[in-house]
Structure formats: C-alpha cells, structure tokens
Structure 1
C-alpha cells in the first residue's frame, strides 16, 4: 500500500505544470535576439537551432545558431534539415484543402461513406459519424499512439491499408465524435490516407509535387527514412552531464510527423500563409477562404458554443499576452522540438527548431517579442458583469479526457478541473495549480466582450485567453 501511495504522489508531482517563464526583456536588434537565444540554448542544453524570421515582403533572418552535429562540430546553416514532427500536419491539412477546393471531398463528409476501408470503430456511427473535419481537428475521440506504435524498428514501412491496420486499436471513438478535442496522431494517419485516396498519389509524393516544389522549398522532404549527413541535423538528449545522439528512426504515422525541413524551407512555408496561400511567383495554391477554414475550429462543442480559440485543421492560436495572437503549430519528435507561427494582419512570422529535444518556451517568447516590439498593447475591452444564472448550470467538476489511455489513470488521479463562481469571475481550480480566472478583470486586454451571449467559460481556458 505504501508503494502505491508513493507512486501516486510521484505522478502528482511530475504532472505539476511548469511555472511561467520570467518576463521577456526588450530586444531591439537581431544581435540582441541571437545573444538571448544562445543564452537560453546554453541553459537548456540545446546544441543547435535553425531559425527564420519573416516579414510579408522580406526575410529578417534565415540561418542557424549552434551545432547540427556535436561530434563533427558542424554548424547549423540555413539549409540544415531538422525533423519538424507535427508541423507535418499543417502540410497534410493544406493538401486536403486543395482537394476540397477541387470538389473531390468536403470537410463534413462522413469518413465511413467516402472511405469505408478505414477501420474506425464508432459506437455512435448512426447518429454521430466521424467526419473529415474530426480527423483534422482531433475531435473523433481516438486514442493516441500506443508506445509500440511510435517508432518503426522493422525494415519496411507499412503504407495505405497496412498502415491503418497497425492503428486499428487506436481508431476507436471513446466518446461521441465532435464533443471534445483530444490530440491523436492516428487520426492524421487516416487523414493522410484520404489525401492518398483522392489524389491517387502517396502522401509524400503529393506534398512534394503540390506544396514543396511550387513553394521552392529546397531541402524539405516528407520521407520516413532519413540518414545522418552533412545536410541533416542530429537530435540529442542531455542526461547525466552528457549529450547523447538520438537515432533518426522512422515513425509509423508518417502524415502526422515525418517532414524534415530547413530554415530556408520554413521561410517559404511561413510566407505561404502571409501571402494568402500564394507561391513566390504569385500562383495561388490555396484560396484565402480555404486559409480561413484552416484557421477556424469547426467541430468541438466549444467552437459550436461560440468560443473563438481552438484547434482548427492543424492550425491554432499561439499567444503573446497583451499584444497579438500568432497562428501556427508546434512539433516534437525524439531529439527535436519545432514551432512555426505567423500573423497575417501584421505581416510577420517565424519558424524554429532545436535539436536538444527539450521544450524551451522562452525561445518562442523571445522570437515573438522581437517581431512584435513596435506593436502597442491592445486597448482593454470593457468589463461585462457575469450572468450568474447563465453560468450556474456549468459549474462543477470536469474530468480530463485522456489523450492516451495508457496514462488515463494519472489523469484520473489529477482530478481534472473544478469550475466555480467567485463574484464576477469563473475560477478554474486545478489540483496542481492556483485558481485561474476564466473571465479576466477589466484591466486585461482580454476582458470579456459584450457579445450578447452568456459569458460561458471553458474549464480548460488558460489565463488571459478570455471567455
């Protein structure tokens, strides 16, 4: 019994969210930014980093910091490829939007009708079928990858129906599709299969021909198998005072995370969004309306209730509190952490990847702060009194939906969130954190606007993100 209690306590401690990073200093020049990034890299044991900083009509920086290969002492350059993990999903979603523009399928198509061979187990199929949009927004209710389904140690790569068969167990709806968002890489394997079926090409061939080459991305590749070499960064983990190189193993869920790209590639990908879906020579790869579809969360209950924040088709908000919201995606794969973001209205964007394998949020904070240094803080919105009667039915305890059933017991022990009213605030009390106001005070630039709807708050809303 004592051992069980100790294990439970360890789970609680390990699951406590990291404290917020200290304030970001004012950075007025690229040289200051690079110095600050190098300082964080040294502190977080990150050997190298690729980086691009973009404006609508220019490139502020495109290159690298530190080393791509410690043994060879090879520096990161603008053409050093990093594994960018789940940023791959943004390419798959854009590819499917191209097919949707061509009328080959629709976001609301029922997957069972257009691809009955995908082995989805949905107990609610008659009333709540899995739709294409559910795959792209992680709202089908699928489990995430089981541990033995992450890296492929076999000499062959299962493709098409064989790849889907690997994840038959994960492709089961654990709740009604469209109720809630729970990140599931196998859902993007199914999305990649749809890309292949309706284009008539393997997903890696389609992405190369219809996105990478038209955008003049010189180094990017969605290949599952890559080898260490002059143009490829090694990934590392830092343990016991030493760096250990991570093998570049292929993954099973290629459409969810197989892409490798350089800073020069990511410059083009960021500008694709800043240029409303056009190539450098002006050719439209996506229409502006399709970009807005990518930037919109459609399917979960929160989106249908009018909450603006959420995960669209491989696209979500990246906060810079008090100034502006970027959009984009992040990615993590053994040895690499990647992020890209853009702000179409302001005409700025960025992408970076580090080969230390650790999440260092200060890197992204520094990059965003540099790009927004001349932007004034948002004008606070007027404060709106809380409608206690409208909020009352939603107060109470919310249990987290497990991203991965393997760790569901830990989520159960953490107890989820308790939503309660205190004056003009909804407070979300987490077991391991201080209360978070869902509706910030009037001095906040994210104070609840007078929308005419009850200011209902999501129990998972983060501080500063509004109602």
Structure 2
C-alpha cells in the first residue's frame, strides 16, 4: 500500500514546524558554529556509508541542532532537524528519568524489590533471600538477568499494544545468572521490567505516564514512547547497508528501546541533565538522585578501585581524551549516541538512520568531542616500578556472557588471553586488536589509549577476574579451555570424515558394506531443508516458530539418535575391525554434540533461545 498523507498529518507537520521555531533553542543550524562542522559531518556520512543524521550540541549559553543526508534513500528527501528518529537504547536514559521521578515523589525507592512489585512474574533468583533484585539493580544493569533472548529480539509476533508481561512467557527467561549487585551485565529485559514497574505504580501504560510526567514537562513535544510507523511524514526511515530500507518494527521489549525523538527535543533533554538549577527549583528529580546519574554503584569493580561504570541514567566513558557520561543506542535501521560532560557544561547527541555493520560510528563521537573543544581528562601516569605477577596471566572468559544459550560460543570465541611483560599487560582476543594496559597500582590499569583508569584485576571467592566496569572476565583453567577447543576440533574433523565416507556409502549403497553410515549422512544432508527455508524467510522471523525453525529443531534433535544408531550397528557387525575408525569418528562427533547439549546449545530451538 502507498503511504497516503492525510490532511491532519499535514496540519500536524506544519504545527510541529511552528512550535519548533518558537521553542527555546539558543541557536539553530543556520549559525557559524554549525556551518563549521557541516562539511566534516558530510565527509563522515560519505566515508561510513550513512544515509542521514540529526544532531544536537549543548553548551553553557546555547543549543545547536542540525541535520545532513537523506531521511529516505528511496525518495531522496533531505533530512531535517525536525525529522524523528528511533534511538534504540538511548530510550533507557529517558525512561530512567521517569523512574527517578517516581522515586522523587516517594512512590517508589531504589531499594524497592521487583518481585514484590511484580508478583505474577517468576523470577528465578537463587540469591533472593539475601540479594533480591531491586529497582537500583535494574537501572544499573546489575540484576544478573540475561540481556535478551533471540525470540524477543527477532520476531514478527509483536503488537505495539501487547501487555509487557507477554515478553516473559517462557519461565526460564528470568533466570538470574549472577548475584544481583555484583557485576554490570547489560539487560534489555531489566528495562522492560522497569516499564512494568512504572505501570504498576502509575496504574497506566508506561508510554502515557512518561508522556505526561517527563516529555511534556521537558517540552519534548515531538518525542514519543508509543510506536510510530512509516505513515508519519516526519519519521526518517531506517536503512541497512546499500540503502536497504527497514520500516519501523515494534519490539517485544519495547521499554528498553522504543522511543522516537528529534534533535531539538534531545537538546532540551541534554540541557535538563546538565542544569542543576532546574532540578532544585522544580524538584522534578531529587538532586541526590541526579548526583548518581553516572556514578557506578557498589559492584565488585568499584569496591576494588575502578570508578567507571553504569550510574542510574548514564555510564561513565573515557573517549577521545574526554571523560563523559554517555548512552549508545541502536534499533532496526538506526544508531544513536548521547554524551554529556557536566564539568564543562557541554553535551552532544546524534542519530543516524543507517545500521551499517562496517561503519565506524565512533568517528562521529570524535568529531563532536573535537567540536565541543573539551579539555582533556587528567592523564594518570603508570607506576614507576611495576610489579610482575604471574598469577594473573592466562585465559579469561566472560562472566557472565550476555545470553545464556550462547555461553559456549562466547567461551571459545570471545575469551581473552592476558600476558604480562614487566608489569604491563596485553589483552589478546580473536575479535579485536590487542589492548595494552599500563599498571597504576593496587590491581588497577589504564588502557594505553585512555587517560583514566580503565581496568581492574581482582580476586573474589578464590577466582581471578578482569573487568573494565562493563565486561567482566573470570580466569579459566587452561586445561578446561583446551578441552573445549579439542572437543570442537575433533567434532568438526569427525563431521567431515563421516560426511565424506557416508556420501561414498550412499552412492554405492547396493555394493558397499558399513551401510550404517548412511543414517548420519542423511541426517546431515537433511539440514539443507531448514537452511533453505531460513534463507527464504525474513530475518525477523528467526525467533518465531516457523517451518524453518521447527525443521532445524527436528534435524538437530535426531543427530545423536542417528549417530548412536550407526555406531551400535557397526559395533555389532562381524567386520567391526574394518569399521573401527568409523565408530571412533561417530563417538567423537557424539561427544561434541554432548558438550553442546550440556551448554544448552543443542538441539537448536530458535524460539526458546
């Protein structure tokens, strides 16, 4: 169907333009300050293959907004600062203000227990008696909950008006994997619970409460937590690589990332976060709460001396020599970033309507930080005489990783190796360039590309940990780590061997012996069906129960049965001596499957992951 712009939509658009012109913006995109960066922004858009951008900069005496590129690659309409953008997890910063508003009104507290607020949900917390999940834990991503499940992220079974509790229909979804309060572990599910807490306290939809109690008071009249589709003429359309359009999609965990806004509105939000005067005069948010806006809570990393991490609204970030409080965000076809620098009374925000995996979006952060002319953070020098500590060397794995079902792949492919040279550490991984850490004393280190302490190594409960305040790694036995790699290697080699030999047996079925190998090879070949079906469906259906996902589950569930049956048949044959290598290959493949089953990776049920 064509997008038909109705009369009331046109009137709304004109009204939005008038209101934007009248709103208290200290400067607009037509001034010298903006023209100085227009060319730089356009260059970044071209280099990183981004379609369009809206942005805002806030300084002590002015707000500056602007836009570049196109709002829709298909129509080639120019982007304007009045265009609305989905901003992904930047949503969390605005929603957090709404939660702090409730706390300021004493309708809630940071220490309110979530299980008491939401008794209908089954939160599986082994530490519930001594460490229940609180509102503070949800705000600071220290609840111990998973980030997100595949069936919550990639699904077409969504409705913008569906009750939030339907996101947690699977009883295992809310398994607490880490003691609440101990470590930062990013959780979209946690912020969805916050949306439910708001609804419980306010007795209305969280979208409506935040509109009335946050957006309207801050005069963010063109922003919304409600779902906005492509029929809104002021919505910039999202894109992927090569200008592939992505129309807006409602999400299951919508409190964690469903928010549309404009550059002028975000300038007002940045101004609110920076201006202490506003807070004390209106008592909109209690000053003691805003003082914890980017201050990490009592996690293990802070207790061991690292002072960066997630606060109640934003997280401390050391980027391009500047220390700020920031929040990144991404949505289907969009990316965004917000950063404030309270000491300098400056801030910036940008949003692009492109989700290009090969783009280096940090180029935009560097550009705006340079444009704000921030004073560099104080450089913390390393110790003069670093101490060698061989105990900290070795392999470290994520503890916890973001999604429980991917714990095994993360253990093997997202682990890091820590080596030491004269007290200086090198962090090596398969996924990124080596990091060099300089010792500052007491187990604290500074990344050579940063100016402030960035990592800490500590011991707790007899285990060694490495953390940057956001990702925590625990040291793993090299024997255990090697076992998983040997298991994978042997399993893959066995798969190739069985596939080749099995295909040969299948071709010569009438004359060959050891025909039992035909069983697993037919199972292997059967995977072509779900692979083909998956390639034919939309990627958003990956977490749905479809013919593709059901056939994938069946094929993966039958694997151990077909392999074990083949092994038994070969062992029972009189010619077992001739087939012992086949049996060994079958058993080696089976051990690999058992390891994946132990880690809940097999059989593959995408609608549960």
Summarize the Cα distance change of 1:113–1:230 in structure 2 as closer, same or farther, 3 Å threshold.
Answer: closer
Q: Count residues in correspondence.
A: 423
CA positional deviation for 1:216: 0.8
The Cα of 1:353 is off from its aligned counterpart by 0.4
Higher helix share: 2
Cα contact 2:54–2:68 (8 A) shared by 1: yes
The answer (yes or no) to whether the contact 1:414–1:431 under 8 Å persists in 2 is yes
Aligned position for 2:39: 35
Q: Quickly say closer, same or farther: Cα 1:125–1:362, change in 2 above 3 A.
A: same
Q: Distance between the aligned counterparts of 2:448 and 2:189, measured in 1? A: 42
Where relative contact order (Cα < 8 A, 6+ residues apart) is larger, the structure is 1
SS at 1:190's partner residue? helix
User: 1:253 maps to what in 2?
Assistant: 253
Q: 2:232 aligns with which of 229, 233, 243?
A: 229
User: What CA distance in whole angstroms lies between the structure 1 residues aligned with 2:118 and 2:458?
Assistant: 40
Q: Verify the 8 A CA contact 1:56 1:275 in the aligned structure 2.
A: no
Which deviates the most, 100-109 or 87-96? Answer: 100-109
CA contact (8 A) 1:56 1:274 kept: no
Equivalent in 191, 198, 204 of residue 194 of structure 2: 191
2:397 aligned with 1:367: no
Q: Does 1:430 align with 2:422?
A: no
| 1:443–1:416 distance in 2 versus 1, CA, 3 Å | closer
2:445 pairs with 1:446: no
Is the Cα contact below 8 Å between 1:317 and 1:326 reproduced in 2? yes
Cα shift at 1:44: 1.8
Closer/same/farther in 2, CA of residues 435 and 85 from structure 1, 3 Å limit:
closer
Change (3 A) 1:413 1:382: closer
Q: 1:397 aligns with which of 395, 398, 402?
A: 395
The answer to whether the 8 Å contact 1:108/1:133 transfers is yes
Structure 2, unaligned stretches of length 5 or more? 1-31, 440-444, 470-609
2:324 is the counterpart of 1:320: no
Measured in 2, the distance between the counterparts of 1:393 and 1:148 equals 41
Unaligned runs of 5+ in 1: 1-27, 463-467
Is residue 461 of structure 1 aligned with residue 459 of structure 2? Answer: no
Change (3 A) 1:396 1:351: same
* CA–CA separation in structure 1 for the residues paired with 2:302 and 2:332: 32
Distance 2:376 2:156 in 1: 50
3-state secondary structure, aligned to 1:127? coil
Residue 51 (structure 1) aligned with residue 58 (structure 2): no
User: 5 Å matches for 1:33-432?
Assistant: 33-59=37-63, 61-150=64-153, 153-154=156-157, 156-157=159-160, 159-160=162-163, 162-166=165-169, 168-238=171-241, 242-276=242-276, 278=278, 283-322=282-321, 324-358=322-356, 359=359, 360-372=361-373, 375-381=374-380, 383-384=382-383, 388=387, 396-400=394-398, 401-414=400-413, 416-432=415-431
Do 1:96 and 1:195's aligned partners in 2 also have CA atoms closer than 8 Å? yes
Q: 1:230 to 1:306 in 2, by over 3 A?
A: same
The secondary structure found in structure 1 opposite 2:295 is coil
Distance apart, 1:146 and its partner CA: 2.1
Q: Please say if residues 417 and 430 of structure 1, whose CA atoms lie closer than 8 Å, have aligned partners that are also in contact.
A: yes
Match of 1:14 in 2: none
Does the 8 Å contact 1:218/1:264 carry over to 2? Answer: no
TM-score in terms of structure 2 length: 0.64
1:246 CA displacement: 0.3
Let me know the Cα RMSD of the aligned residues: 3.1
1:319 aligns to what SS in structure 2?
strand
Please name the residue that 2:590 is paired with. Answer: none
